[in-house]
């Protein structure tokens, strides 16, 4: 019996994943490293500080802790410039309609994002009041694939993981959902199939009852 849904933000509600990639690639250029889209895939759902560590490893560069802080701040300022003019038109196709279906059925909805910029983005796209619970990178200690972000979301909504669907576009996020015993829906390509209970290409035209049926789950 499903009573709630938790949505990842970047790559699920809105395609900010491309802006994160652009900002990391710009930083990589400064390290004289060509950061590929494939390598970026592995950073999806990973916190800012951990992402920098991985980029430094890839580039084979060692810097001081003080410089790491500076680099993270620089990457974030570039990212914020890129998202500055975002508006509701960047909400991914079908997302608003799918959220409306959930509201009509009194299904609780939350955001579970690794991003410390989640609230800023939600304000820009006009969805800050759409979610009854928002758990973001400011509210958790452990990064995905640790399930903390989703467990906290479910706790705040008062639902059990088994009653809650997590929608995620990253391998790490889906691993977090499974580790927390949530129902895990991958949003994206078939490469996510090994990590999810089911994969959907996106929300366009998605009917909530059909989704539940395809996972043999009951409605409230």
Looking at the Cβ atoms of 93 and 205, the one nearer to ligand B16 is: 93
Of ligand B16, Mg ion, none, which one does residue 113 interact with (CB within 5 to 8 Å by kind)?
A: ligand B16
- To 10 degrees, the CA torsion angle through 138, 142, 147, 148? -50
Smallest separation, CB 8 to ligand B16 (Å):
5
Interactions with ligand B16, residue window 63-102 (CB under 6 A): 76
20 scored as a contact of ligand B16 (CB under 6 A): yes
Is position 10 annotated as part of the catalytic site? yes
Smallest separation, CB 198 to Mg ion (Å):
17
Interactions with Mg ion, residue window 165-184 (CB under 5 A): 169-170
Contact indicator for 173, 8 with CB cutoff of 8 Å: yes
Contact indicator for 149, 167 with CB cutoff of 8 Å: no
186 scored as a contact of Mg ion (CB under 5 A): no
Looking at the Cβ atoms of 2 and 46, the one nearer to Mg ion is: 46
Selected from 113, 124, 135, 197, the binder of ligand B16 by CB under 6 A is: 113
42 scored as a contact of ligand B16 (CB under 6 A): no
Smallest separation, CB 113 to ligand B16 (Å):
3
Q: Which residues bind Mg ion (CB under 5 A)?
A: 8, 10-11, 45, 169-170
């Amino acid at each position: 019996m499903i009573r709630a849904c938790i949505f990842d933000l970047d790559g699920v509600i809105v395609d900010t994943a491309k802006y994160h990639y652009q900002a990391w690639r710009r930083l990589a250029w400064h390290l004289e490293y060509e950061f590929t889209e494939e390598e970026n895939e592995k950073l999806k759902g990973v916190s800012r500080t951990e992402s920098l560590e991985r980029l430094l490893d890839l580039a084979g560069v060692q810097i001081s802790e003080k410089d790491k802080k500076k680099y993270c701040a620089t990457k974030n300022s570039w990212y914020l410039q890129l998202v500055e003019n975002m508006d509701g038109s960047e909400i991914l196709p079908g997302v608003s309609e799918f959220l409306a279906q959930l509201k009509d059925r009194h299904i609780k909805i939350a955001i579970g994002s690794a991003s410390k910029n989640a609230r800023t983005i939600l304000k820009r796209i006009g969805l800050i009041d759409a979610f009854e619970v928002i758990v973001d990178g400011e509210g958790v200690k452990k990064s995905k694939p640790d399930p903390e972000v989703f467990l906290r979301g479910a706790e705040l909504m008062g639902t059990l993981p088994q009653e809650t669907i997590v929608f995620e576009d990253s391998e790490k996020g889906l691993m977090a959902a499974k580790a927390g015993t949530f129902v895990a829906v991958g949003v994206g390509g078939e490469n996510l199939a090994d990590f999810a209970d089911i994969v959907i290409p996106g929300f366009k035209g998605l009917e909530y009852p059909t989704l539940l049926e395809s996972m043999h789950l009951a409605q409230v």
